[in-house]
Structure 1
Amino acid sequence: MMEEKGVLYAKLLGETAVISWQELQPFFARGALLHVADGVDLVEVALAFAEDDQARVSHWLGSAGVARVEPGKAQDWLSRDPELWAVVVAPWVLVQERG
């Protein structure tokens, strides 16, 4: 089981990439974009979503470790164009600012 988790983690890590806010805007418009807070491992969150680990996902959602991207955050990213990292765990796109 632990080995399978490691394989999935590595797969998700390999699918994580730098992306521009411009490319993410359609996902934001559909409500499918989730922001992962600083200090939270983007790939660990993706892993929990992929494994449907409801306890961990609920914890992050409840503690604002993961949240829908709010319009104010979207406007901030549009104006600053920071380096964003994203990974897809359908139907969600998880995004985190790096820098």
Structure 2
Amino acid sequence: MTEQPSTLYAKLLGETAAITWQELQPTFARGALLLVDAAQDLIAVAQAVAQNDQAKVAAWLAAGQVSRVDDSRAEDLLSRDPELWAVVVAPWVLAQERIERAPLH
């Protein structure tokens, strides 16, 4: 993608939506699902994937901050059914568990 980073970030943010694990299971089965750690910015990760920033993505994968979903993690997600957010960066779907953060005062 050749869009400016801020424009791409805004576009990806607008394409992010809540999703259930049930809805993600076919993507998992195809091997096209990446799980983004809750401490990471889902959209920043999606932007790096979209821009083919191999150095960033490789570092996140190596650190376990972005990972493919293995069978045990899939079973965990199925049993817990957490609230997830996802964004498509073809051929990948990037998903992240939503963590409620305390409001800032």
Normalised to the residue count of structure 2, the TM-score between the two structures is: 0.89
Q: For structure 1, which runs of at least 5 residues remain unmatched after alignment?
A: none
Per-residue displacement from partner, 1:9-51 (whole Å, max 9, x unpaired)?
A: 0000000110001100000000000110120110000000000
Partner SS, residue 55 of structure 1: helix
Number of aligned residues: 97
Which residue does 1:31 correspond to in 2?
31
Going by fraction, where is helix more abundant, 1 or 2?
1
Q: For structure 2, which runs of at least 5 residues remain unmatched after alignment?
A: 100-105
Which residue does 1:62 correspond to in 2?
62
Calculate the aligned-residue CA RMSD, in Å.
1.1
1:91 aligns with 2:91: yes
Kindly state the Cα deviation for residue 78 of structure 1 after the two structures are TM-superposed: 0.7
Percent identical residues:
65
Counterpart CA distance in 2 for 1:10 and 1:36 is 18
Kindly state the Cα deviation for residue 71 of structure 1 after the two structures are TM-superposed: 1.0
Counterpart CA distance in 1 for 2:97 and 2:8 is 23
Which residue does 1:46 correspond to in 2?
46
Counterpart CA distance in 1 for 2:98 and 2:72 is 18
Normalised to the residue count of structure 1, the TM-score between the two structures is: 0.94
